[in-house]
Amino acid sequence: MRHRRFSTRIRDASTGYLFILPALAVFAVFVFYPLVKTIYLGFYQTPPFPNLPSKYVGLSQYRHVLSSSSFLDGLRTTVQFVLLTVPIGVVLGLALAVLAHKRLSGIRIFRTVFSSTVATSTAVASVIFFTLLDPQVGLLSYWLGQQGGSGILQSPTWALPAVSVTTIWQNLGFTFILMSAALQSIPDDLLEAASVDGSRSAATFWRVTFPLLSPMLFFAAVIGVIAGFQAFGQIDILTQGGPEGHTTTLVYYLYQSAFQQNDTGTAAVIAVALFVILLVLTLVQFRFVNRRVFYAD
Amino acid sequence: MTTADGGPAGNGEIVEPIRLDTAAVAVLRSEESSATIALEGVTKNYGSTVAVKELDLVANAGEFLVLLGPSGCGKSTVLRLIAGLEQLTGGTIRIGSDVVNDIEPRDRDVAMVFQSYALYPHLSVRKNIEFPLRARHVPTPERATLVTEAAQSLQLESLLDRRPGQLSGGQRQRVALARAIVRRPRAFLMDEPLSNLDARLRVEMRAELIDLHRRLGTTVVYVTHDQVEAMTMGHRIAIMRDGELQQVGPPQAVHDDPANVFVAGFIGSPAMNLLGGEIASGAGGATEVTVSGGTLRSATRALPPEAPIGRHVTLGARPEDLVVGPDGTVEATVSLVEALGHEFHVACRQPDGRMLTVRVAGSAKPPAVGDGVRLGCVGRIYLFDADTGVRIDG
């Protein structure tokens, strides 16, 4: 009896593994192998001239790169970028979703408009803002009184905020859709019960709607942080990491190391660092924020 | 194993009898806590669809008024109009002496119990019950007392720190009731509150609701499509169809004297038999009506002068008033016998194919399927106008 049960279990398990095998194979080739290979590359110093053999330096390259001012500047810029884009992006997306949740005639038009940036690529969004911010012909530059000046994207103070605005704008459609879906999943009964119970609409929002939206807000924040750490396209198109490295995030620093300086070793170390940072951040978010989030039973 | 609404399944659940704490309920009772709800010419349209039409209805202070009708008859809309969740198209709604047409739901001082219970899923039972008090800025110490009293009166003390998702259907129902009674509103509005419970729990909660109402004495407007709930719970029943009021009255009166064919067919189980016929004679309170299988002869209320011999009518006869026997005057063939234990429901087919249901006592021997039988009437028959469905006898 016991023996049969055991063999059944083995058979069930092997059927299970059989099902995940294709996915496992894809992950192995495109994720696990590159990950291991990258960690491995971090142990080898790239030679100063091509065609010379790489030199095994062990952890010293990790130590060297991670304590360099370039890396720390990149990390600081990345954190600033995330802090600029995620909170504002989520709040704006939520605000638009709340506005568009009202039952008004023609509200569908607004819903379409608000979600339209989801169909815009990073490249397109960046080119749009590049034009808007152009010191000669840019409408935004004109409005901001920067016309004919050195340009907002060339300003060490304003380049990163400008890149952030572009990013927020481009992500807004997606955040709006997430928040709208979450709002629509809240039963009308609950809001009606609250109004009969004597709650004013602002109080109902904070005491009923907002807690029920919290899983989606949390999800949007996690996705936003990960996207922020991985942002590349808008920086490459708008500023190429400039001026004077003020928009050089970790990913852009990685790109410069790998493809402009052909320094695979340094690039590998940055990549591993990015991986670890995102892993830790996500775990922390799940561990601490998740406790304050309500999920329906 | 869970039910559709996520609670533990009814058949596996240990149903503890709920004893209302008399002392705790008595505290909640207060004289001014009950208001008359008066609807005058209330109309509600959704675009070109008429949901409620020219409704005049009063729920007296302290009364348990049941709105009964099939799905889509507008009964829930009436409740939502009283609560203020829908805007009136026309007419006036008064709660107590106030016209509430333009008053926000939160200022109407009524409590509503939803079919879904509408408990706040992220809040504990305590916070759910507390919600209406917080919304009204009741000071903390008073709030705690009131929550304790409401929880006691519905036997919820041990569940106060749980979330709604961890409760069974019956427990959720009690939390919804506690949330309604905690702030002592002028009236309760209940929208099919028992329809998500399993049959056994529904019977229990029915009794509890009646008890709770007797102790609190607050006006209740209760919506249901279940005639048993309506008959057992209501002081009066208001029957609606297609947005129009059909009849209002005490349950027994509505059962005994239906105003039209719709009410006659809706109230009573098994339903009243309704047949096309022709008045053959109407002398001395004993009326004869010719139907397809013969002539049914029985007592009716006095026929009005405009109900002459030969008039086409719809005849109504309750299954319990029909008998199978040699003295019967209507021929039919037995097509189905349903044994319910304490009684049989015998479905008989008349020559024109129309069916008649006869109730036979469980102690009697029922006819067999295929038997030719003769049916007679020992009770009253009802006569309705064949076109308008309006009652014409009595």
What's B322's domain CATH number? 2.40.50.140
**Separation of alpha carbons B252 and B332, rounded Å:** 31
Question: Between β-strands B343-349 and B330-339, what pairing exists: parallel, antiparallel or unpaired?
Answer: antiparallel
What does the pLDDT read at residue A206? 92
Share of chain A above pLDDT 90, in %: 33
Residues B191 and B337 in one domain: no
What does the pLDDT read at residue B219? 93
Residue where one domain finishes, among candidates B219, B236, B256: B256
- Tell me which residue in B83, B106, B122 faces A198 most closely, judged by beta carbons: B106
What does the pLDDT read at residue B128? 94
pLDDT digits (tens, 9 = 90+) for A250-283: 999 999 888 888 888 889 999 999 999 999 988 8
Residue B390 lies in a domain: no
Question: Is the CB of residue A188 less than 8 Å away from at least one CB of chain B?
Answer: no
Residues B130 and B80 in one domain: yes
Contacting residues of A for B131, CB less than 8 Å apart? 194, 197, 199, 207
Contacting residues of A for B165, CB less than 8 Å apart? 296-297
DSSP string of A130-146, one letter each residue: HHHT-TTT-HHHHHTT-
Contacting residues of B for A198, CB less than 8 Å apart? 106-107, 132, 135-136, 183
pLDDT digits (tens, 9 = 90+) for B148-159: 999 988 889 899
Residue where one domain finishes, among candidates B256, B282, B308: B256
**Separation of first and last alpha carbons in chain A:** 38
Question: Is the CB of residue A198 less than 8 Å away from at least one CB of chain B?
Answer: yes
Dihedral (CA of B153, B157, B160, B162) sign: negative
What's A178's domain CATH number? 1.10.3720.10
Share of chain B above pLDDT 70, in %: 89
| Domain ranges, residue A145 | 60-292
Helix axes A159-184, A122-132, angle to 10 degrees: 130
Question: Is the CB of residue A200 less than 8 Å away from at least one CB of chain B?
Answer: yes
Contact B132, B182 (CB under 8 A): yes
Using the structure block, give the residue that is written with the tokens 């007296």.
B60
Q: How many domains does chain A have?
A: 1
If you average pLDDT over every residue of chain A, what do you get? 86
Residues B151 and B251 in one domain: yes
Question: Of residues B132 and A152, which shows the higher confidence score?
Answer: B132
Residue where one domain finishes, among candidates B256, B275, B297: B256
Question: Is the CB of residue A244 less than 8 Å away from at least one CB of chain B?
Answer: no
What does the pLDDT read at residue B231? 92
| CB contact (8 A) between residue B105 and residue A189 | no
Residue A8 three-state SS: helix
Helix axes A69-100, A210-230, angle to 10 degrees: 140
| Domain ranges, residue B271 | 263-385
Does the structure show a pLDDT above 60 at B8? no
| C-beta neighbour count of B352 within 10 angstroms | 10
Q: Give me the torsion for CA of A160, A163, A168, A173, rounded to 10°.
A: -170
| CB contact (8 A) between residue B105 and residue A203 | no
